Amino acid sequence: MSFDLSQLGWDDTFTSSYRPYDRPDTVPGRVLRADRGISTVLTAGGVTRASLGGNALLEAARDPALLPCAGDWVVLRNWPDRRVTLELVLPRRTRLIRRTADKDASGQVLAANMDTVAVVEPIFPEPNDARVERLLALAWESGADPVLVLTKSDTVRDPEAVARQLAALAPDVPVIPVSVQRGAGLDRLRELVAPGRTLALLGRSGAGKSTLANALAGTAVMPVQAIRDADGKGRHTTAWRNLITVPGGGCVVDTPGIRGVGLLDTGSGLDRAFADVIELADRCRFDNCRHESEPGCAVQSALADGLLPPRRLASWRKLHREVAVESRRRSVRLATAPRRRHN
């Protein structure tokens, strides 16, 4: 079986970053799935499993964020004894990265080289505003274009009304209600997995990511569990990151259902996710306005006029504090990292 890599998003930029490694015993490929030390990679010649080569191991020791993840374009090396090693992760164009719970200074890369990140939130039970805002900040930070997908739209009477409400939390982001059960809203998502394009799905466990990935790929490629619990939360099923190819199209990356995602020091993602607040803040009289009781504060006056919901401002402040704490922590960790290694 042979695959046209350009259908998967291989282009001139990746071709030129690959060129220095192009040898008779190397091939480029895209990571479908990364398990501990073993990656499943799609090459023009088919699917291969590869272990981490020496160079990839060194890179990962330096920075765990450089471990291969679903969506990565990589250099594979074929050895005479038929072993295949993953030698290098080519520079990522975009990457979804979240803070890890451990003491590691670098984050965990959930998916790479996607064109679009869909924040997937179920319409029932009621969407969680704070989670949507947080995931959108992460999506913006990835460098890809975010969309907000409201799943299970068949479970409410007026999904468009819910979409309109959530649009207020998602400046510059298309909001797309979908129902896999009814096949509603899927056309707009199909455009995002056209040939050469990659869509990553980001959302909590039970949000309906796997169901959506299956619907887009047109096959049941992932285990989807039935609703067993009354609260509609579903159970945790997807424990890995998986890239799925869409027949006649591009790719979908399903990320694991995440309970809480910590933001890294993602100032820019946060600013994009809260473009409405930033736009107001830009109009304050003082550049260093804290938007509390300063004269000429455009944020406070929008609050007073009911143009900016207080919840939205509180949410922005909370995420900002979190990012500030995290970047301080990160700089301390980075400063002490070499010493810790000798413990």
Ligand X SMILES: Nc1nc2c(ncn2[C@@H]2O[C@H](COP(=O)(O)OP(=O)(O)OP(=O)(O)O)[C@@H](O)[C@H]2O)c(=O)[nH]1
Confirm whether residue 203 is marked as ligand binding: yes
Helices 310-341 & 129-141 angle (0-180, nearest 10): 50
Judged by CB, which is closer to ligand X: 48, or 155?
A: 155
94 binds ligand X (CB under 6 A): no
Confirm whether residue 198 is marked as ligand binding: no
User: Of these, 291, 313, 315, 323, which contacts Zn ion (CB under 5 A)?
Assistant: 291
299 binds, among ligand X, Zn ion, none (CB under 5 to 8 A by kind): Zn ion
**Region binding ligand X by CB under 6 A among candidate stretches 10-18, 76-84, 209-217, 272-280:** 209-217
Nearest-5° angle of CA 50, CA 104, CA 244? 35
- Give the integer Cα–Cα distance in Å for 43 and 134: 35
Confirm whether residue 267 is marked as ligand binding: no
**Region binding Zn ion by CB under 5 A among candidate stretches 22-30, 137-145, 207-215, 288-296:** 288-296
Footprint on residues 31-60 left by ligand X (CB under 6 A): none
Q: Which secondary-structure segment (H or E) carries 288?
A: none
**Region binding ligand X by CB under 6 A among candidate stretches 52-60, 68-76, 168-176, 202-210:** 202-210
CB atoms within 10 A of CB 18: 18
Nearest-5° angle of CA 22, CA 27, CA 33? 135
69 binds, among Zn ion, ligand X, none (CB under 5 to 8 A by kind): none
Give Cβ neighbours of residue 288 (< 8 Å, ≥ 6 apart).
none
Give SS3 for 114.
Answer: coil
26 binds ligand X (CB under 6 A): no
227 binds, among ligand X, Zn ion, none (CB under 5 to 8 A by kind): ligand X
206 binds ligand X (CB under 6 A): yes
Judged by CB, which is closer to Zn ion: 139, or 308?
A: 308
CA distances from 135 to 96, 104, 164, 170 (A): 10, 21, 18, 11
CB atoms within 10 A of CB 343: 4
DSSP 224-283: -PPP-STTS-------S-EEEEPTTS-EEEEPPP-S--B--S-HHHHHHHTHHHHHHHTT
Contact mark string toward ligand X, 166..185, x via CB under 6 A: -------------xxx----
152 binds ligand X (CB under 6 A): yes
Give the binding site for Zn ion (CB under 5 A).
Answer: 284, 289, 291, 297, 299
Binding positions are: 151-154, 203-211, 284, 289, 291, 297
Give the binding site for ligand X (CB under 6 A).
Answer: 151-152, 154-155, 179-181, 203, 205-211, 224-227, 234, 236-238, 256-257
